[in-house]
Amino acid sequence: MGCSPILIDGTWAEPESTTARFRAHDPATGEALPGEFPEISWPDLERMARAAQGAARELASIDTERIAVFLERYADLIEERADAIVAAADRETALGAEVRLAGIELPRTTGQLRQGAAAVRDRSAGGWSMPSIDAEVNIRSRYEPLGGAVLVIGPNNFPLAFNAISGGDFVAAIAAGNPVIAKGHPAHPETTRLLADAARDAVEEVGLPSGTVQCFYHAPPEDIARLIAHPALAAVGFTGGRSSGLAIKQVTDAVGKPGYFELSSLNPVVLLPSSASADLDGFATGWSTSILMGSGQFCTKPGLCFVIGQEVAEELAEAVARSFDGKPDSILLTGGLVDSIDHGVQALQDAGAMLMAGGATSLEPGFRYPGTLLMTNGRTFREMPDSMQRELFGPAAMIVACDSEEDLLAALRTLEGQLTACVWSAGASDEDHALHDRVQGTLRPICGRLLENKMPTGVAVVPSMVHGGPYPATGHPGFTSVGLPASIRRFAALRCYDGISPARLPSNLV
C-alpha cells in the first residue's frame, strides 16, 4: 500500500517533497493503522499557496450563490459517504461510531456546512458582511473576503466537526469567500482524506476554482511558518494545544496577519452552598459525566470545581470517585496524551494537590487513562495560580475547597481567561443571590460563555453561541469560532468604497 497523496489545486497529487511518512494508530489497541501518509515540506506548500492565490482572485468576483451550493453539496456528499467516514474516524479516534460520531458529530458537521450556506445567502440586516451606506457622502463599507487563503489547522478531538477540512473554521473561511488550505490532524489522516475527497468532488461539481480547497496532513514547523508568511496566505485558524498554538501565533503576529487561536481552558465551575445543600449527588453525577464525556477531551470539559467548605469538598470528591468507579478507563486519542495527562496529574500533586481518584496508568492495551480527581484548597490555588491552572486534557478534574466566600472570590480572581465558566446555585435567599451576583461579576469578564446550573460541555451551534474568550483561552476576546454569522467575520476584511461609481460597487452596497 503506497503513501497517500495530498490535495493540491483540485487534484490528489504525489507530494514532491515528502520528508517522512507516518501512520495513525488505533487508540484502543495502540497499534499502527495500515495507511501511510506523507509529511511534506516547502515545495508542496508553495504549490498550494500559488493555487490558493489564483483561487482567491477568482473567488473575489464569483456569484456567492455558488459558495452556498458548494457547502450544501459537500454536506450531502458527507452524508452519502457517512459509513466510510464514521468507520475511519472511529478506527482513528475510538470515540465511538454510533453514538458520538454517526449520532452527534457527523450531523453537527453537515449542519454547520448548511448553516454556512444559509449565512452566505442571508441578506437580512446585511448578513455577515454588514454593509453600511452613507449615501449623502457616497461612502460605503462592508466585510469582504480577505483576498488570500486561510490556513486551517485542525485539532485531534473532533475529527469531523472541527476537522480542518470540514469543521467550523473551514465553514467560516469558505463562507466569507476565502480559499482554505487545510492541515488535518496527523492523528486521524484517513478521516481527513475521506472528507477532503468529498470536498474536492463538491468543488468540481459546483465549478468553484480548483484551488478553493486543498489539504495536507503534516509538515515541519519551519515550513508551516514559511507558508504563513507567503503573500497568498491571509489568515490562520488554529484549534489545539497551548504550546503549539502559541508557536503558530508568534508567526502570525510577526507577519501581521490575523490568527485565531483556540488554545486552552479549565472551564471553572462554582458550586455555591445553596446548590451543594440542595442536591450534591445530582451535581456530582452531572459533573463526572461531563468530565468523562469524549474521554475528557473537550475544550469545554469542566476541569475545576470551586466549593466552600472542606466537608462539601470531601463529600463531592467521594461522590465523583463513586461515579468513576467501575467505569472502564477512557481511551485517549494518542499515546502522547496519556503521557501528558499523567505528567500533569503528577505535577499538580507535586504542587500540593491531593489525588482523590484515578491517577494510575492504565493496565489495559492502547491509550487509556482512568477517571481522575484531584483536590486542593483555595489558598494553595491562589498562591500558586500558574502551577494550579494546568490543563489536564483527558478524564481528569480538580476540586478547589475554599474556606469562605472571600477565599472563593480571591481564588476566582486569579483565574486566567477561559472559554466558559459556570455558577451552580439553588439560591432562594437574599444571601444566596448576593453571593451569586458577586461570583458572576468576578467570572463574567474572564470567560467567553457564562452558564448557570448547566455544564459547559455542550456547545450549541446557534448564532448567539460564543466559543471564545480572553487569552489564554483564545488569542482575542472579540471573536467566536462557533456560531454563524459571527464566526465568519474572523476571516473577513473591513473595506470602504469612497466616491466609487455605482457600476463599480459591490451589489449589496448599491
- In the complex, the smallest distance separating the C-beta of residue 463 from a second copy, rounded to whole angstroms, is 5
- Is 504 a binder of a second copy (CB under 8 A)? yes
Nearest to 239 by CA among 171, 162, 172, 183: 162
Nearest to 48 by CA among 85, 88, 78, 5: 5
Tell me the per-residue interface mask from 59 to 78 with a second copy, x by CB under 8 A, - otherwise. -xx-----------------
Which residue bears the cell 487545510?
Answer: 182
* Nearer CB in complex with a second copy: 237/448: 448
- Is 243 a binder of a second copy (CB under 8 A)? no
Which residue bears the cell 483536590?
Answer: 375
- The footprint of a second copy on residues 97-156 (CB under 8 A) is 125, 132-134, 137, 139-141, 143-144, 146-148
- Is 490 a binder of a second copy (CB under 8 A)? yes
Nearest to 412 by CA among 376, 385, 431: 385
* Nearer CB in complex with a second copy: 80/134: 134
Work out which of 65, 204, 383, 452 binds a second copy, going by CB under 8 A.
452
- In the complex, the smallest distance separating the C-beta of residue 170 from a second copy, rounded to whole angstroms, is 19
* Nearer CB in complex with a second copy: 5/126: 126
Distance CA 137, CA 123 (A): 24
- Is 453 a binder of a second copy (CB under 8 A)? yes
- Is 466 a binder of a second copy (CB under 8 A)? yes
- In the complex, the smallest distance separating the C-beta of residue 255 from a second copy, rounded to whole angstroms, is 7
- Is 22 a binder of a second copy (CB under 8 A)? no
- Is 256 a binder of a second copy (CB under 8 A)? yes
- The footprint of a second copy on residues 214-233 (CB under 8 A) is none
Cell readout for 154 is 485542525
Q: Any idea what DSSP says for residue 47?
A: H
- Is 248 a binder of a second copy (CB under 8 A)? no
> Of residues 72, 92, 262, 391, which has the active-site annotation?
262
- Is 476 a binder of a second copy (CB under 8 A)? yes
Cell readout for 344 is 500533569
- The footprint of a second copy on residues 34-63 (CB under 8 A) is 56-57, 60-61
CA-based end-to-end distance of the chain:
56
Is 422 annotated as catalytic?
Answer: no
Cell readout for 52 is 490558493
> Of residues 72, 92, 215, 299, which has the active-site annotation?
299
Work out which of 25, 218, 249, 382 binds a second copy, going by CB under 8 A.
249
- Is 244 a binder of a second copy (CB under 8 A)? no
- Is 176 a binder of a second copy (CB under 8 A)? no
- Is 436 a binder of a second copy (CB under 8 A)? yes
Distance CA 474, CA 216 (A): 24
Q: Is residue 241 within 8 Å of 264, Cβ to Cβ?
A: yes
* Nearer CB in complex with a second copy: 85/443: 443
- Is 253 a binder of a second copy (CB under 8 A)? yes
Sheet strands side by side (includes 233-239): 11-13, 6-8, 213-216, 180-183, 149-153, 233-239, 259-262
What is the SS3 assignment for 211? helix
* Nearer CB in complex with a second copy: 297/442: 442
* Nearer CB in complex with a second copy: 38/468: 468
Distance CA 8, CA 233 (A): 15
- The footprint of a second copy on residues 297-356 (CB under 8 A) is none
Q: Is residue 128 within 8 Å of 157, Cβ to Cβ?
A: no
Is 16 annotated as catalytic?
Answer: no
Mutual angle of helices 273-292 and 430-443, in 10-degree steps = 40
Distance CA 412, CA 414 (A): 5
Rg (CA), the chain: 24
Residues classed as catalytic? 262, 299
